[in-house]
Structure 1
């Protein structure tokens, strides 16, 4: 197919669209005319509705004013003279009100503001329908013009029941001139050809914006009355009482069966629409003529810059300047295209740069992962190797001192392994928000002493000068977590301080806070290291012997545990080789320092009959030997079903029950025991490697009295072995 120019297709497009555009324009114009008419009709409806609300507001104010009057203290007390004076004052201040009349329940006139107080009017019995209606229903009644049309100018009558001690004793009647509503039309600024009308339920005209003297009191046209009775509001074509053809919108009031209508001449209603239709038709035809000429001219305007953009895209697709240097076209679409091409070229360039950056970051992350895995392997192999050699040493040692040294070595390295795993798990728990602090009043100084004593027992402080200056510092906190904070900070200082160096630990109280400071004379920190020292797995450069050890997570854990307590931790150093200072600020909380209690040695646990259920043979054997050394009688089971059977058969005092058992898990065994007579009196202790808060909750719900995480804290186990079933259930550990 022969290729043709863009101008040819633009001309063809203009010709092809000409006829449908004309038809479409005609439909749009017709639709626009309908919408204009509907908009005018809606505007008239809203005007009628607004006028109705104004009338109701006026009537409502009168009703509320009468409600206030009938609750007058003078009227309640029967002081009619004072109440008469009040009514006179109200009539003088209320512009539309003509008079106030008080009737008794039989309709006799007690007084009226039209006569002086004391005039005997009791002979006048008012038996008009609105009085009878108030007495019969006990509700306010608003009357309109028909009741008064034979006695003077049009008026409105509002009748309000008067009660004393809950009994209807009379009727208070207010009258005011219907001319009061005439100001309604002036406030709405209704033009001369438009008419506002207020009629009652019989079609009698009560008020009107035009021809008041002529038409007020007369009846509206029958067709008008018929239309306004068809609904609460509406819009229709009609004739005014003068005979003018009009459109009318009406709205009925809620308080009384009156109707407000707003009418306008049909000619004025249609004039603006017809003018708009004519203007749109002329403009549409003109646009169709211009479109053909425009297509030819635009074709020439478009073809040149399009060729320039295409040339730039072929020659320099990755350079934004190639598109911005193309001359201005004056056509928004082409300008958008040029800007888009330039933006696309810039995005391609930026994306390539970002891709290169991501690749570098990925390589760095991969290298960090490899370094961490290598370090983790080193950290795990060291204690495992020491444990292996210690076990072999125990096998061949021939004296008690050698065996004790080997045992202590195995114990230290085992706790070191457990600490590495705990650190990894605690970082994950803190990050996911699953650590629950158990706060109570505590002394930070005592917490620091325990942490340092543990480090001294492991031999980590022997090569350093350790200065401890801890003053009592009471706060509301979690002892175990803050001991972990202190231990990690001191361990970190020892790692990065050469042998013979000094590490100083200080605690003190400040207003509203307690402070822990750990300083050293070690390697120190450069400014960039001070900003990153609390990042997860971050470590400064070290020698290949990795003498400082660690996983790079201790300080991260310190920061997150301190923040969980609402505190802050900061690192400061004068520079490399100038030592470091780590400062922890913790809020005191609502804590009162408790009195010192004399230390009491724990009583030894009484001998118990213990059933140990664990599928790991070595763990089961070691725990059994430890318990038997302390005088307990121990039985064993290696799976869930056998553990359940032995518990029912032997009826031990305590059952140490693993969770991950073959056959039946520990939760099932616990529930089965608690539902049997043999198991209700047992002390059930879960001993498991599952240590999440959810695991502790599930254990307590299954019927366990306590929850211990492997490796078991023997001191805590001894404490739990003192439990009896009639004692309160222990907390999970």
Structure 2
């Protein structure tokens, strides 16, 4: 048998098991990809069921809270109506109250006192679904009952209800019902993050659609596919493959709501489920085919070259047998060429092999060293993460514990009345610790924004000396510097910077000096303008515990910090200096830190570019005429009653006239009626959001001069941009910084007075 044939057999024998096992692997891959896609579908269905249960559970909890109402117990139906109205869960939801005889007493969909549908109408609607009297008597063990899809006799709309029986002293029995319009769950489930090609549906226990992401207008109240209804009745959860109502071949995964027994189903087109699997199998099959063809071609080419090379080696061997010097033979096969020169090149080859082995060993050692370094770095990072999480828990628990104790102290009512000193102390603790919690959250958010490159600066010409003095004065006011000697020597140095970020930088650095300096220590703060380098240089020096040589190279890294003094009330998360460096660099400056070692103090230098003389000349100084504040008419739109009352009280204490509104529509009407100078508007309102309120106010010529301030819990850059795009002048994040708000109001008051 020729060598070419043998090589072809070798290639075939090698590829045969590869082909067989590849076919098996491709089939397993197809099945695995399909199962993975179906698993994602099941997880999405469970998530949607949890959302439904969460809505129903919240409604149940709200009804049970209403059941304990003193107004209900005292038969004060008007007072109870107001409480029930405030408990409604937004558009598409309202609350009803029935007495033991099934008579409807309250319906928050209508104003109090309006004529309500008769009990006979309601009983006709619910007669086939539940026995109202049985619910009132607590036959179900006082358990909540969730209805199927019903038709409301009041509105004629399709609704579902959550029913809670109420038993009060004196044999008073009621039924509390939270009613949801069918489109309520359409809005709830629209927040689910599912692909647009999937179909999401909620089906009641009778098999009728409560909600559906496709064709909701035509299909709500209509029965689902029979095969899906049968499958849902036979199992708590599962999946089927069938044609949807749109005629699409789909995998349909279903689960049941734990509270209502409804079926939550998600259908995904079968082509989409199997698309990635088929693509992967097709790609793998093409690769296998290419490998087979390449192996066959390679075997043929190699066999031809090998036959020629062996024939030449045989001729050389024959020449040696004849005592002849073999003729030089150069082939395209390295091994045959080496055979001809084996004796002459043996020593050279041995040396080359030794050198090659030495290089390989050196490379292996280098790789091993890199691997060990990477492992150590990973261990250090993991340790830093664990330490950060433990420290974060400690930093959060400390202020929360202090706040909890202060609140408990304020709640105690001794016979002689509250001790004013204790009350004042509790208020100071709550204020201080709340600011500390806010500082922790702000630092964490700044770190996240910095890592994503979402920090933006609001630069303007500033005298750095004034900012330094303001930061030191603030620390003096809070008493944090009372145990230290703080010297301040600053000269005017104008920079183009963000005032808030400058304060954050300086407060962090001075705060670090206080934290790592024992009581009785000294802190020197100096600022000078270096004309030669056109740089403002801020130096903060302390005689505290210093920084070890091991820690110094990593002191600006995130989550790295030294050991604070044991008597310090405030700790830290190890991100302050990291943020300082990032913020200084954003301003085009640089920061450095020096320490001679433990117990030898620390010096921090911050260098920022000075403002050009032309830009400095253009700065308009603030005069006494522009620094004052005049009373203003302020519109406050906030749906949270407690927050609105507290903010109104604060503004009133500053001498301003406050106009209150708890909805967006009311806020627009009040603005048109009173034409306020300033409007503080919450973004999340029950009817229209704050962006729409701002747009409507801006659309009226008489209100275009009104200063609009957005007040929200969302503080990302996208939220700020959206607020400004809607017409707001300022974007403030809850909990609002009262000093910052008052500065804005005073600035607007001064501007108004100058324009008169």
TM-score by length of structure 2 reads 0.49
